[in-house]
Amino acid sequence: MKQSEIKELSVAELQEKLSEVKKSYSDLKLAHAISPLENPIQLRSARRTVARIATELTKRDSQ
């Protein structure tokens, strides 16, 4: 998910998306621990998406 897409979402949508992405990230980590993922870059992508959404939420709270 790109930063421009994240900026367009409301706070409620961001919180919902954050929980979804965190769940998918933990599922990916578990699957990778059991057997290596075909594309391990998915882990990095999910982790960075979590960080982008969390950063946007923090930024909106401080404003």
DSSP count for the chain of H helices, then E strands: 3, 0
Q: At what angle are helices 11-34 and 41-62 packed, to 10 degrees? A: 150
pLDDT digits (tens, 9 = 90+) for 9-51: 999 999 999 999 999 999 999 999 999 999 999 999 999 999 9
Residue 61 main-chain phi, psi, to 5 deg: -70, -35
Tokens matching residue 31:
């699957």
What DSSP character marks residue 40?
T
User: What predicted TM-score, i.e. pTM, was given to this entire model?
Assistant: 0.91
CA–CA separation, 15 and 11 (whole Å): 6
Does residue 1 surpass a pLDDT of 90? no
Domain-wise residue ranges, the chain: 3-62
- Band the pLDDT of 63: cuts 50, 70, 90: confident
